[in-house]
Structure 1
Amino acid sequence: MYKQVLDPVGGSLAASALVAMLPLATLFVLLGGLKLKAHIAGLAALVVAMILAIAVWGMPFGTTVAVATEGAAFGLFPIIWIIWNAIWIYNMTVETGHFAVLRRSFGSISDDQRIQAIIIAFCFGALLEALAGFGTPVAITAVMLIAVGFSPMKAAAIALVANTAPVAFGAIATPIVTLAELTDIPKEDLGAMVGRQTPLLALFVPLILVGMVDGWRGVRAVWPAALVGGVTFAVGQFVSSNFISVELTDIIGALLSVGAMVLFLRVWQPGDPLLVEEGGGGRPAMAGAAEHDAAHEAAVRRREGHGKDSTADIVKAYAPYLIIIVVFAIAQWGPIKDFLAKGATEFTWPGTGDIQTAEGEAPSATTYKFGWLAAAGTLLLVSGLITMAVLKVKPGAALRAYGAMLNQLKWATLTVMAVLALAYVMNLSAQTLSIGNWIAGAGGVLAFLSAIIGWIGVAVTGSDTSANSLFGVLQVTAAKEAGLDPTLLASANSSGGVLGKMISPQNLAIGAAAVGLDGEEGELFRRVVGWSLALLLIMCVLVYLQSTAVLSWMVV
């Protein structure tokens, strides 16, 4: 039996926490400092974490290996399963030429790249986050940005930064629902409190995206459109989370935001638009397309933009994403949701049954849940099959597209599996808990630091849901001991966590793989880490003020 210990280094929680940070330091130094490929950095950090788990925290060797394999399995399913099928759908649209049509269609709304970044990465990405989450928005919006002319690196960076404000309510509010189940705080209270924190991020993110595209000059030129998109999303998120439905929060916010943007752009356009940057314009069509037939010739015409796109082609260009939205929406309908849930199975991962928490209970993370039928990746596979029919993609071409996708994502797959193995080893050996409990002992300053705990959780696991599972109860317990509001700190865990998503190696790997930049995760990390820290500081200050008389009126 292995019982988790929080202070194995000389009985000191502070010393134990500092030692527990070594795997994370290894990961980010190798990735951002030495510029090693993400899968190498991830595997190296995993080795460090396993050595510490065995030599310092006292976890048996066999148990440590079992925990690592469970994390790798979780990385493969459901995480990578989502990305595989999302990129497969994209590859089919490239092959048929419909992605080029989509690019021209977005250009008809506005040919300004700064505005396109807001509409695609922020507005449309929020809708994808609302329905799927778990990396799907980054994968899909990054390649959509390439389709409208962004360079791959810039597209991936923008997609990562944009995927912040909606995350706490992503996948039909899964992080909030999970947090409520673990803390026994009503999801309505948690959702309302998060809905009084993350909307602030929505005010800044569109402006940041514009700055990433075109610097301060761009902010001065298109700030009215950025404010329209950010303010309408923030208002929709606040109103829905506090007065309508926690589960529908991101859907309502995203639809309001994109609708407001489209209407606003009918009466206002920037005077000096930023057109397609040099070197942009999308990726080439995949090899293996049919040749010397009508379908192939039509695909070539669509890709090269000969003549005006027909209404039918424009509808088909949007069809894959509309299909995804409809499929995910139907999957949340009562009877269908219940039917899909019947395909789930769960079991204690072999070799992990002898782990106990410090309280003598079995940690929930040792239970592997294989909900194959209701999984977001399976729903994307169904969406892909429907897309095949709508775009008239032949089975052979679809299989070639899937094979090309698997080859394209091979290193990203290894990275995600390594990072999730790292997360599971750190979590179940109690290394992450040592860090969290050390920070939680800060007393009155905890209100300022609570968002950082969530940020660390998401940076390690890549998931706000996982971070809430890891630290939600800890935040509530620490809040009670410090005389702070438990709902405030539990919500801060989720709100702060969303800002760790853009620097999570899992999501860096997804973003890099989606745009064909395997091995460039370090450069991507350097481009987004500053924004992650700046927004985290804003969240820390907000939560601290909410814990004082200054903004206490905002607390549920």
Structure 2
Amino acid sequence: MTNVFLASSPVLFVLTGMLVLKKSAMKVAPIAMIYTALLGLMAFNTNTDIIYSSFQKGILDGIRIVWLIFAAFSMLIMMQSSGAMDKIKESIATITMDKRIHVIIIALMFGIFLEGVAGAGTPAAIAAPFLIGLGFNPITAATAALMSNSIPVSWGGAGVTTVMGSEPVREYMSVMEASAMTGRIHMIGAFLLPFLIVLVIFGRKGFKGLFPFLLFSGTFMAGTLFIFSNFVSAEITSMSTGLISILASLIFLKISPPHTPEEFLYNPEFSSKSSLHPLKAFSPYLILMVLLPIVRYSFSLSTLAKYGYTVWVGLVIFISALLGASILKVSYKEMSSYSKTAIKKVIPALIAMCGLLAVSNIMIGTGMMTLLASALSSIAGMFYPFIAVAIGSLGSFMTGTGLGSNIMFGPMHIEAAKTLGLNPVTIFASQNVGAALGNMICPNNVVAVATTVSILGKEGTLMRKVLPSFFTILIVYGLVALIYTHIVFV
């Protein structure tokens, strides 16, 4: 029991620092890193080589992720300075003046699409700054992005989380079986999430006049996700769900526009109409939407992952920004200035990200993470499907990826399922959906989105905003996993 408590102490250290003491991740992460390294050496008798390699991997992974943040931040500054964002505001205002719908379409649906074509934190890096450009409060934009970057993570960029994440347990299920069961759980979350986002960001009054759209968008997303995950392909589930849901929502708004209370009306802040053509204004995002899937499907996963999955995504974002800048007549000197500003902005994030990822890698290398998961599973019994969701969340909370969580804990879940006589497919799906949910509150993701919207230092505030929704969906998924395992798919 003592070892279990010690193994959990790095997690408690990070949570206490950010949530209770309200310290920034930049201050908490380096101290947590040193504490975890000493813990591994002294309490878990870990070889110094393992500690060093875990530390080194954490630093390198942190640099790769911050590269993506830098690219997204450079694009945002360019869009704002060139006047393109003002034109985008005007264009969006012609579709709907309802700010609540803007959040659902941009953060949730566009975010699901981006996760499907690239993954690796792209939704938060692009969707949150997009909302900032439209005039949303940074906390609001970041909260919406974090809540939205959950469900599609079970498939990730081109289905990699399910495709590669189920590889260690391929003897017990095919990719489509893993994807299908995952979709049967996530379709419930897809229905609930639009309601939860509106509740968290706008309060109960936010539902006024919006129920028809929320019912449509939730039902449509749930149905689309179910169809693609069960009958089409894991590789295009997220991408197709996001894109088709956007198009369907735009059609719905044309046929049945909502009655929007005055307090939720969108009031763009620009003094005069921009002469910029809408296509030019949207060009960086349009280029990005085209380049991401082209690059993703033009190379093998091993090639793209050679230097880190976030590296190629960040490169595509930066190239899109440069091409967009050329179309918008932004000079090289101006773009260089925007990039220098972006570098200064991401330095604190680099410190936080490297420290947090070092903590994660040390916990994995020393066996702390496996010990925690094993302790939870040993007391679960017939409630194991519920615990599997929680373990999946724990894995992605610390590693920052659903894929990492699946690879780490997937085999353990299969052994537990065999011992308890449970369906291995529903158990793995429970792990998979839990791994996606953990992205909502993962410190790495919180730091990343806080950096892109310039509120680094308020990570604790963000986590407190998102935690109620995280636990709500976690409980729902846990109950669904129990029903599926013991009643529906015995």
TM-score category of the 2 structures, normalised to the smaller one: over 0.9
* Corresponding residue number in structure 1 for 2:3: 16
Do the aligned partners of 1:320 and 1:387 also contact (CA within 8 Å) in 2?
Answer: yes
- TM-superposed CA distance for 1:245, in Å, is 1.1
- TM-superposed CA distance for 1:106, in Å, is 1.6
Structure 1 residue corresponding to 2:281, chosen from 317, 336, 340: 317
Matched, 1:30 2:23: no
CA distance in 2, matches of 1:537, 1:370: 37
Q: Rate the CA distance shift 1:248–1:375 in 2: closer, same or farther, 3 A.
A: same
**What does 1:243-322 align with in structure 2 at a 5 Å threshold?**
243-275=231-263, 304-307=270-273, 309-310=274-275, 313-322=277-286
* Corresponding residue number in structure 2 for 1:57: 44
- TM-superposed CA distance for 1:276, in Å, is 6.4
* Corresponding residue number in structure 1 for 2:467: 529
User: Aligned letter for 2:89?
Assistant: R
Structure 1 residue corresponding to 2:168, chosen from 169, 174, 182: 182
SS in 2 for 1:248: helix
CA distance in 1, matches of 2:400, 2:41: 24
User: Aligned letter for 2:414?
Assistant: V
183-192 or 452-461: bigger deviation: 183-192
- TM-superposed CA distance for 1:341, in Å, is 5.6
Q: Rate the CA distance shift 1:87–1:274 in 2: closer, same or farther, 3 A.
A: farther
Matched, 1:114 2:100: yes
CA distance in 2, matches of 1:107, 1:467: 40
CA distance in 1, matches of 2:408, 2:302: 24
**What does 1:138-537 align with in structure 2 at a 5 Å threshold?**
138-184=124-170, 185-275=173-263, 304-307=270-273, 309-310=274-275, 313-333=277-297, 336-338=298-300, 369-371=306-308, 375-441=312-378, 442-537=380-475
Structure 2 residue corresponding to 1:66, chosen from 22, 42, 53: 53
Deviations 1:392-450 (A, max 9, x none): 22111111111111111111121111111111000111000000111122222211211
Q: Rate the CA distance shift 1:304–1:462 in 2: closer, same or farther, 3 A.
A: same
- TM-superposed CA distance for 1:384, in Å, is 2.3
**What does 1:69-88 align with in structure 2 at a 5 Å threshold?**
69-77=56-64, 79-88=65-74
Q: Rate the CA distance shift 1:371–1:30 in 2: closer, same or farther, 3 A.
A: closer
Deviations 1:157-201 (A, max 9, x none): 111111122111121111101222222132111111111111111
* Corresponding residue number in structure 1 for 2:482: 544
CA distance in 2, matches of 1:62, 1:182: 26
Do the aligned partners of 1:150 and 1:277 also contact (CA within 8 Å) in 2?
Answer: no
Deviations 1:1-60 (A, max 9, x none): xxxxxxxxxxxxx43222211000010011000001112122222222112111111112
Hey, which bits of structure 1, 4+ residues long, moved more than 6 A? none
User: Aligned letter for 1:306?
Assistant: S
Structure with the higher helix share, 1 or 2? 2
Unaligned runs of 5+ in 1: 1-13, 282-302, 345-368
CA distance in 2, matches of 1:108, 1:373: 35
Do the aligned partners of 2:69 and 2:451 also contact (CA within 8 Å) in 1?
Answer: no
User: Aligned letter for 1:214?
Assistant: F
Do the aligned partners of 1:71 and 1:422 also contact (CA within 8 Å) in 2?
Answer: yes
CA distance in 2, matches of 1:201, 1:343: 30
CA distance in 2, matches of 1:473, 1:401: 46
* Corresponding residue number in structure 2 for 1:92: 78
Q: Rate the CA distance shift 1:275–1:106 in 2: closer, same or farther, 3 A.
A: farther
User: Aligned letter for 2:398?
Assistant: V
Do the aligned partners of 1:341 and 1:374 also contact (CA within 8 Å) in 2?
Answer: no
- TM-superposed CA distance for 1:277, in Å, is 8.3
Do the aligned partners of 1:331 and 1:374 also contact (CA within 8 Å) in 2?
Answer: no
TM-score where L is the length of structure 2: 0.95
% identical equivalent positions = 28
User: Aligned letter for 1:329?
Assistant: P
SS in 1 for 2:307: strand
Q: Rate the CA distance shift 1:464–1:372 in 2: closer, same or farther, 3 A.
A: closer
* Corresponding residue number in structure 1 for 2:110: 124
Q: Rate the CA distance shift 1:509–1:373 in 2: closer, same or farther, 3 A.
A: closer
Deviations 1:307-363 (A, max 9, x none): 3x45x5211222111111111111133xx315x96586xxxxxxxxxxxxxxxxxxx
Instruction: Give me the CA root mean square deviation.
Output: 2.0
Q: Rate the CA distance shift 1:130–1:373 in 2: closer, same or farther, 3 A.
A: closer
* Corresponding residue number in structure 2 for 1:355: none
- TM-superposed CA distance for 1:221, in Å, is 2.4
CA distance in 2, matches of 1:266, 1:305: 27
How many corresponding residue pairs? 487
Do the aligned partners of 2:155 and 2:161 also contact (CA within 8 Å) in 1?
Answer: yes
SS in 2 for 1:306: coil
User: Aligned letter for 1:55?
Assistant: M
SS in 1 for 2:455: coil
Unaligned runs of 5+ in 2: none
CA distance in 1, matches of 2:259, 2:311: 47
